[in-house]
Chain A
Amino acid sequence: MLAKIITFSPEIFLVLALPLIAFVNQYRSSKTAKTFYSIVKVLLIFSILSTIIFYNRSPLPHLLQNDTYTTLYKVLLDILSLGIFFLSCKWFLNKNRSSALYYALGISLVLSLNLMISAVDLRILVGGYFAATILQYFLLKLNDDDDCKVGEIHYRAFSFLLFLIMVLSIIWFQEKIGSAEYSKIAAYYAKHKIQMLDVMAFAGILLPILFMLGIAPFHFCRVELSGLSILPVHVLSNLIPTISAYAVIVYLLTEVFSKFKEIYLPFIEIVAILSLLWGAISAIKEENIRRFFSYCHIYSLGFILLGILPFNNNGITSSFVYFTAYLLTIWGIYMVLFAFKSNGEYLQELTDISGVFSQKPYISVLLMVFIVSLAGSPPMLIFLGKLQVMDNLMINGAYGEIIISMVALLLMINAFFRIIRIMFFEAKVKNFDHTERRIYICLFINMLFFLVGILNPALFIEQFELLLKPIMR
């Protein structure tokens, strides 16, 4: 029993954060964002360490299982969350707002997403999904603006609708197979023929996860809310759920619903291509920075999903390389967004950052490096992912997809150059506030990863291959 409790320690550490935050919020007089961040930081670090230590221990093997695959994603998710919490702290300090709720909701979100990754039962998955959507909804409500209301309603309505669909699907599988466990579902379809309603139930599981992933055409709420939520929430809800959703999708499609391959492969291909083009075309004229990067997110995920096809070992590795590089890059971009501040206001419009180079050259150059990396320019990190994805597509003879992805890449590059042009070539319109040291620290660490990735990419890639082994054939 004790052993089981100990193996639950990653989750326990996260849960522990909630009463501690509540306690401090209630009883401590000086309770700045730093205080809450310190709590979250310590517990998250412990959670990460215990996740690593118990990387192959499963407290409830029929519901949650851990292996190197889940550990990889969970650690990635936790580290990124830690980084986001670190930067968010300053945001709350600057705004002089209480951060207790944010940290509480944030850490809960991390917990629920971790559970989703470890889940081996659809019920746990849907539970985690439900918790994550609810938590995200409350996180959105941290923004008091009225403009946000319509977006919140949309999010509430559609995440609930998708949750319901997911629940109905699980009920279907439960009724038909007698269990919602992944292994049993996989075993059932290994022997039985797939019916039309099975496909619909499968769609009921897949679509909400795609919604969480933010891929076209299920990206709607993500884009709508990205311009409305507060910056820490925007970063958190854009990055963290994506990792979880991606891990879940890859696992579900390779391990649970592998027999649905004939259906989901063209489906994923279509949505991937749609995302590529949709993201790239929409980004060209987008004026809101956050929305711009949301479209960029759609585009990148399209590329990642295109690369993962047909879910073979090569595809999984190459997409993961791309995905990790993408996360590192977009995280760098969000860090820079924290630095774009004028008179205490965090800037959102592209026109606001006109000529930022003249006042913040280093930050601007770093943003440019990240943007160039997103464009897949060599020798940046994403280039390696792009290279592997393209190689994989080539192996599969997907020449049509290669052409489409290249056209989308060109459109996206056009959009990226627009940002660079605005930052570097146009006249300054705003005076920017002093950039906090912690942003530089984060950027420095990020750039170190970048450099190591550029100079010795094998260090990452070889490790990833080892860690992804549980889902490899």
Chain B
Amino acid sequence: MIANSVFILATWGALGSIFASVKSGRMLSFLTLALSSGLFFFLCQHYFSGKVEYFSFDWLKYMSLQVEINLSSTAKNYIQIFPIYIISLLSMFISFFSSEEAQKQRFCSLIILNLCAFIGVICATNILQLLVCSCFITVLGFCIINDMDARKKYAFYNLLADLSLFSVCSLVYSYIGSLELSALPKFAKLGAHRDLVSILLVIAVWLKMGLFVFHNQLYDLSVLQFNRLTYLLLCSTPLSGLLILQKFYPLTQISPYALPLLKIITVLTICTGVYNALLIDNIKEKAIGLMQILLVFGLVEFLFYSTDFVAIENTLLLGGALFGLILYAISYSSSNEIYISSMGNFISGLKVCFLFLSLAFLAFAHHILISYASQNYVLTLGFLLLLTIVIAHIYRQIFFGESHADERVMALLKNPAWYMLIPILALIIWFAKKEYDAYYMELSGTVILFITLLWFYPLKKMENLYQKEFIQESDVFETVFDFLIITPLTILGRILWLLVDFILIERTIINSLSNATNLLIRGVSHLNVFSAKLYFLYILLGFGLMALLAYMGHK
């Protein structure tokens, strides 16, 4: 079933992206959405029927290399695919109704192609399928980002990540001689350069997920339209990074450095997320900060406590989608305003909306508590506390206090569109569906804290930081990269060019040869003078030489 769906979706997606046009875009995007939804329905049906279908296709059959494409319809694959599928459907749904999306069909086609690539990653049982699909995700992400500036860091970092992964796979294959993911544990016995492999893997994940230091690639996406941004944050390279980590997890065990390094980065990333969610004025960057917090939470769960990956994926994707939609809805209601500093007192026009969004947050808090608190109580509470502070801080600035919005925005304040509210409602129901049987104290505490924070607004002074250009505009890490990597490389390149190419080759080797030839030419030109004396000398020389040879012969 998965194989059939992938085939249909990939074909439709490829055709749709090639023949995408603005005129028929709306209709085709609807068809895409309908088709994808239909397939999703059948997939669900198949999943619930409990049937298992194995599918593998011989891709390459060389003398020493056989690669199969695996797209087996197993329960494990299904439950990993579903959240991604849902987010994809959600993005297509919103883009279909949203007037902001100009290239609906192209976007939808790219989404379903990206979905196919993710299915490929999830179903992969060999390194190559995983690598190829991961690279496809990079390419499709590149296509979905419809802004050149936003593409820059994304492309460079993911290129580096893919090449790191490429190296990891190359090294692993060269030592274990197998492409099967199940054979990865063998590398611990057969392989060499274990630290290198492990660190390269961490680098790949690090770059792909946009963790601390490389997080600015995600922030550059803030110029994109909200729906695209949310989709990219949830269903693009950060998620593929996480999936890669899951698939290659045995390789992180072979070096004593890999996991500690990843853990340090994780902690630093959460700080970055919180920093951006609290201090940055741009609502989209706040959304990115929130996503980062979620992502890191998932990573921490996975790395520190080996929590079930499917649960993490669900929380991450659906929670991310929820917060993305919430912030999108706020921006939509305020005539697409994206600066928090230009908002405030929206409660006056959006009372129901505020309640609805607060409910959404609480539903998510409920989900977190139910899903994780039993395993890692402190971590879950800590995370919830952090999330409550951030969300309350954002809501407070938007809905309460003095309004900084101009009159036009205030006058045009409207409730979010229905196509935003329906998915939010669906997500609220999904998060809240678990029976409320425990942690009521913690949930009540969260509610109280949320209200208290909204009421007292303890982080009010942070508002002033919105005016600080240094915080809002500067990209410290880009400067650091420039200073530590780009500039030294550039200088080195210049020095090599000047020293080796110009001075050594041009000035030394070529000039010497040229001078030697010129010397010869000058020397011979002296002998080429048309002079009788010289001619006579040549004849004498001939005789002399003959005599000399005769003399030597006699001797």
A interface residue numbers (CB < 8 A to B): 150-151, 154, 157-158, 161-162, 194, 196, 199-200, 202-203, 206-207, 210, 217-218, 220-221, 223-224, 262-263, 266-267, 270-271, 278, 281-282, 284-285, 411
Contacts and interface: CB of A to CB of B under 8 A. Distances in A.
Contacts of B546: 199-200, 202-203, 206, 263, 267
Contacts of B542: 203, 207, 210, 217-218, 271
B22 interface: no
17 contacts: A150-B530, A154-B532, A196-B550, A206-B546, A217-B527, A217-B541, A218-B542, A220-B534, A224-B530, A263-B550, A267-B545, A267-B546, A270-B545, A281-B520, A281-B523, A285-B521, A411-B517
Contact of A157 (B517, B530, B532, B553): B532
Interface string B520-545: 11011101101010111011011101
Contacts of A266: 549
A158 B523 CA distance: 24
A154 B545 contact: no
A299 to B, nearest CB: 12
B554 interface: yes
Given A203-B542, A207-B539, A282 B532 contact: no
Given A194-B550, A218-B538, 20 more contacts: A154-B532, A158-B535, A196-B551, A199-B547, A199-B549, A200-B543, A200-B546, A203-B546, A207-B539, A207-B543, A217-B527, A217-B542, A218-B539, A220-B530, A220-B538, A221-B535, A223-B528, A263-B549, A267-B546, A281-B520
Top 8 A-B pairs, shortest CB-CB distance:
A199-B550, A203-B546, A217-B538, A281-B524, A224-B530, A220-B535, A262-B553, A263-B549
A196 B551 CA distance: 7
A206 B534 CA distance: 20
A397 to B, nearest CB: 20
SS class, residues of chain A in contact with chain B:
helix
A210 B551 CA distance: 22
Contacts of A263: 546, 549-550, 553
Nearest to B522: A285
Interface string B93-116: 000000000000000000000000
Interface of B: 517, 520-521, 523-525, 527-528, 530, 532, 534-536, 538-539, 541-543, 545-547, 549-551, 553-554
A227 to B, nearest CB: 10
Contacts of A210: 542
A162 B554 contact: no
A199 B542 CA distance: 12
A298 B349 CA distance: 102
Contacts of A262: 549, 553
Contacts of B535: 154, 158, 220-221
A266 B535 CA distance: 22
A267 B523 CA distance: 22
B376 to A, nearest CB: 77
Contacts of B547: 196, 199-200, 203
B549 A282 contact: no
Contacts of B532: 154, 157-158
Contacts of B550: 194, 196, 199-200, 263
Contacts of A158: 532, 535-536, 539
Contacts of A221: 535
A159 to B, nearest CB: 11
SS class, residues of chain B in contact with chain A:
helix
B527 to A, nearest CB: 8
A206 to B, nearest CB: 8
Nearest to A286: B528
Q: Most B CB atoms within 10 A — which of A151, A207, A263?
A: A263
Contacts of B554: 196
Contacts of B543: 200, 203, 207
Contacts of A281: 520-521, 523-524
A143 B397 CA distance: 106
A218 B535 CA distance: 8
B524 A278 contact: yes
Given A150-B530, A154-B530, A154-B532, A267 B549 contact: yes
A473 B78 CA distance: 91
A180 to B, nearest CB: 20
B531 to A, nearest CB: 9
Nearest to B542: A207
A376 to B, nearest CB: 20
A150 B531 CA distance: 10
A202 B523 CA distance: 31
Nearest to B524: A281
A210 B541 CA distance: 13
A284 B539 contact: no
B461 to A, nearest CB: 74
Nearest to A162: B539
A150 B529 CA distance: 13
A221 B539 CA distance: 12
B521 A284 contact: yes
A152 to B, nearest CB: 12
Contacts of A200: 543, 546-547, 550
Nearest to A225: B530
Contacts of A194: 550
Contacts of B541: 217
Nearest to A265: B549
A40 to B, nearest CB: 32
Contacts of A411: 517
Q: Most B CB atoms within 10 A — which of A158, A162, A206?
A: A158
Contacts of B553: 262-263
Q: Most A CB atoms within 10 A — which of B524, B538, B543, B547?
A: B524
A221 B532 CA distance: 10
A167 B43 CA distance: 112
Nearest to B534: A220
B551 to A, nearest CB: 7
Nearest to A217: B538
B326 to A, nearest CB: 70
B538 A282 contact: no
B523 to A, nearest CB: 8
Nearest to B554: A196
A285 B545 CA distance: 29
Nearest to A199: B550
Contacts of B539: 158, 161-162, 207, 218
Nearest to A211: B539
A285 B519 CA distance: 12
A217 B539 CA distance: 8
Nearest to A193: B554
A171 B536 CA distance: 22
A206 B541 CA distance: 13
Q: Most B CB atoms within 10 A — which of A158, A207, A281?
A: A281
A424 to B, nearest CB: 23
Nearest to A197: B550
Contacts of B521: 281-282, 284-285
Contacts of A150: 530
A176 to B, nearest CB: 16
A281 to B, nearest CB: 4
A150 B530 CA distance: 9
Contacts of B520: 281
Nearest to A284: B521
A147 B383 CA distance: 104
B543 to A, nearest CB: 5
Nearest to B550: A199
Nearest to A279: B524
A407 to B, nearest CB: 10
Contacts of B551: 196
A161 B540 CA distance: 12
B460 to A, nearest CB: 77
A278 B550 CA distance: 25
Contacts of B527: 217, 278
Nearest to A221: B535
A302 to B, nearest CB: 14
B349 to A, nearest CB: 77
